[in-house]
Structure 1
Amino acid sequence: MPGTMLAMNETLTIARLGARGDGIAETPTGQVFVPYTLPGETVRVVRDGERGQLVEIIAPAQSRIAAICPLFTRCGGCAAQHMAPGLYSEWKRQQVVTALGRAGIEAPVAEIVDAHGAGRRRVTFHARREGIGMLVGFMQARSHDLIAVEACPVLAPGLVRAPAVAQLLANRLGGSNKPLDLQITASDGGLDVDIRGHGPAGDKLRLSLTEAAERLDLARLAMHGEIIVERRPPLQRMGKASVAPASGGFLQATVTGEETIAALVLAALPKAKHVADLFAGCGPFSFRLAERMKVLAVESDKAAILALTRAAGATQGLKPIAAEVRDLFRRPLLEHELNGFDAVVLDPPRAGAEAQAKRLAASKLGTVVYVSCDAGTFARDAAILIAGGYALEGVTPVDQFRYSAHIELVGVFRRPKKY
Structure 2
Amino acid sequence: MSVKTVTIDSLGAKGDGIAAGPAGALFVPFSLPGETVGVAVNGTVGTLMSIATPSPERQTPPCRHFGPEGVNGTCGGCVLQHAEDKLYHAFKRQLVIDALAARGIETDVAPLVTAAPGQRRRVVLTARRTEKALLLGYSQMGSHHIVDIVECPIASPGIVRRLEAIRQIALALAASAEPFRITVLEAENGLDLSIDGLTKLDDSRRRRAVEAVLGLRGIARLSVGGEVIVEPSKPVISFGTIPVTPPPGAFTQATREAEATMAGLVLDAIGKAKRVADLFSGAGTFALRIATRARVHAVESEEKALKALDAAARATQGLKPVTVERRDLFRRPMMVSELKAFDALVFDPPRAGAETQAAELARSAVKTVVAVSCNPTTLARDLATLIAGGYRLKSVTPIDQFLWSAHVEAVAVLEK
Range class of TM-score, shorter chain: over 0.9
Match of 1:3 in 2: none
Identify the residue that residue 329 of structure 1 maps to in structure 2: 330
Counterparts of residues 163-178 of structure 1 (less than 5 Å): 163-178=163-178
Alignment root-mean-square deviation, CA: 1.4
Question: 2:69: which partner in 1?
Answer: none
- Give the corresponding residue for 2:179: 179
Q: Who is 2:208 aligned against?
A: 208
Mapped contact 2:118–2:153 kept (Cα < 8 A): no
Q: CA offset at residue 60 of structure 1?
A: 1.0
Q: Equivalences for 1:248-259 in 2 at 5 Å?
A: 248-259=249-260
TM-score under structure 2 length normalisation: 0.95
Tell me, in whole angstroms, the C-alpha distance in 2 between the residues paired with 1:221 and 1:113.
33
Which deviations, in whole Å up to 9, do the C-alpha atoms of 1:2-35 show, x marking residues without a partner?
xxxxx21111111111011111112454211111
Determine the C-alpha separation between the residues in 1 that align with 2:65 and 2:2.
26
Aligned to 2:53: 59
SS in 1 for 2:64: coil
The 1-side partners of 2:132 and 2:285 are apart by 43
The match for 2:387 is 386
Shift of residue 125, structure 1, vs aligned partner: 1.6
In the other structure, the counterpart of 2:308 is: 307
Question: What letter corresponds to residue 170 of structure 2 in structure 1?
Answer: A
Aligned length: 409
Show the counterpart of 1:127.
127
2:284 corresponds to 1:274: no
Q: Provide the rounded CA distance (Å) in 2 between the counterparts of 1:118 and 1:180.
A: 24
Q: Relative to structure 2, which stretch is displaced further, 45-54 or 89-98?
A: 45-54
Change (3 A) 1:180 1:357: same
Residues 115 and 133 of structure 1: is their aligned pair in 2 closer, same or farther, counting only changes over 3 Å? closer
In 2, are the aligned partners of 1:138 and 1:146 still within 8 Å (CA)? yes
Instruction: Give the Cα separation in 2 of the matches to 1:331 and 1:281.
Output: 17
SS in 2 for 1:221: strand
Q: % of aligned pairs identical?
A: 48
Gaps of 5+ in 1: 1-6
* TM-superposition CA deviations, 1:35-94 (whole Å, max 9, x none): 111111111111122111111111111111111011111101111111111111110111
Q: Does the CA-based 8 Å contact 1:176-1:198 persist in structure 2?
A: no
Whether the 8 Å CA contact 1:172–1:209 is kept in 2: the answer is yes
Q: Which digits, 9 at most, give the CA deviation of each residue in 1:316-344, with x for residues without a partner?
A: 22211111111111111111111110111
Q: Do 2:117 and 2:155's aligned partners in 1 also have CA atoms closer than 8 Å?
A: no
Indicate conservation of the 8 Å contact 1:117/1:257, yes or no.
no
For 2:7, the equivalent position in structure 1 comes to 13
What's 2:192 paired with?
192
Q: CA deviation at 1:201?
A: 2.5
The alignment's TM-score, normalised by the length of structure 1, stands at 0.95
Gaps in structure 2 of 5+ consecutive residues: 67-72
1:184 Cα deviation from its structure 2 partner: 1.4
Deviation, 1:132, is 4.7
1:361 aligns with 2:362: yes
The answer to whether the 8 Å contact 2:344/2:369 transfers is yes
1:164-199 C-alpha deviation (Å, 9 max, x unpaired): 123212211232443211111111110111111114
Q: Aligned partner of 2:13: which letter?
A: A
Paired residue secondary structure (1:268):
helix
Partner SS state of residue 174, structure 2:
helix
Structure 1 CA distance for aligned equivalents of residues 302 and 97 of structure 2: 32
CA distance change for structure 1 residues 120 and 140 in 2, over 3 Å: closer, same or farther? Answer: same
